[in-house]
Structure 1
Amino acid sequence: MTDSQRQDPLHFYLDKSDPSAWKAVGALSTAAKASAQAAGLSDQLIELVFLRVSQINGCSYCLNVHSKRATRAGVNAQRQALLAAWEETDVYTDQEKAALYLAETVTELPAKDERDFAQLFTHGALTDEQYGAVQWLAIVMNVTNRISIMSNHPVKHD
């Protein structure tokens, strides 16, 4: 099918257009999550990172998916609701705050001095393995967000 034959350009699903690439993204996501778990990061922290990155990127589909996963991992409604203002509250651990700061840095890609500060800020709360794992989680979520956003993945009513 050529581009001119496509019926509705708003319903082009990037993930379905190249199943092997989508499968590779899935494998990368699985590997990043396994690496994070092996580094001692909890499923709650992993889902908080996924949610925060999805908030920044405005990916409604991923927010819907990961809010459900966060609930299953034990993240309560208060912690989910306050996530956009995590710096203003004490409902997150130092490790979670460090991971969220690092995930935001990976997502926003600020200037070098701000990236350096992120490394210093997270140093005491994350091991080297956790520091790397959080970056991989954020990178994978950024890729997934972009695929979902460009595919206009719909959020279905529960």
Structure 2
Amino acid sequence: MINHNFEKRLTSTKVFYSYLRDFIANFKAVKTAKSRLDEQFQNKILLAVTQVNGCRYCSYLHTKHALESGMSEEEIKGLLAGEVGDINDDESVALIFAQHYAETQAKPDADSVQRLYDTYGEEKADDIISIIQAIMMGNIHGISIDLLLSRLRGKRDPESSFWTEFSTAFGVLLFVPYLGIKKLFGLLDPKELHHTQGA
């Protein structure tokens, strides 16, 4: 049986806003990445990030998609346990980077970024980062809803607050239009991770 119980990492509304900003600024690139990257590879990235952030809803959803794409239950269990050792070498660098990106709250170190680009080249590395940025936003939003519903059922998380949960869960109603307008007028540049070109 696949375990979907994780330690949730809600962080803050400010951090969620930064993830949402990255996603909207990079929305076109996310769509392109989804059409170019192998479906199983995408699912592995999504599961690797979700394991770190601890979103139960995303775990259920992406496990379902992973099974439908042909991944084995054992492979999924391993990713949800944070294990990438059995993943083939072509994918391990991306999955380790995905975990690192989530653990550092979207602030990966320069060596990790460079290794990603050295391994996959400009286009594929950009696609991998786009998929990671999308799931980072989705994870934190899902966690906020989960925690808020638990609070309403009388199961409050002592490490969280009502305001953080509420503002993250419903802040999108304000954040998305605001960021959308900024993007429309060219005031929202995609986040770029520094790396050496053609390394």
- Fold shared by both chains (TM-score > 0.5): yes
How far apart are 1:97 and its partner, in Å?
0.6
Paired residues, what number? 124
Secondary structure in structure 1 of the residue aligned to 2:60: helix
Instruction: Write the mapping of 1:4-153 to structure 2, written as runs, cut at 5 A.
Output: 28=27, 32-38=30-36, 41-83=37-79, 84-86=82-84, 89-90=85-86, 92-109=87-104, 115-152=109-146
Contact kept? 1:107, 1:139, Cα under 8 Å: no
State the partner residue of 1:7.
Answer: none
Deviations 1:32-61 (A, max 9, x none): 1532432xx210010011111111111000
TM-score, scaled to structure 1: 0.66
Letter paired with 1:99: A
Deviations 1:77-101 (A, max 9, x none): 1211111111xx33x1222111112
TM-score, scaled to structure 2: 0.54
Alignment gaps of 5+ in structure 1: 1-20
Deviations 1:73-123 (A, max 9, x none): 11111211111111xx33x1222111112212221228x8x6222134334
CA RMSD in angstroms, aligned pairs only? 2.9
Contact kept? 2:93, 2:116, Cα under 8 Å: yes
Alignment gaps of 5+ in structure 2: 1-19, 150-199
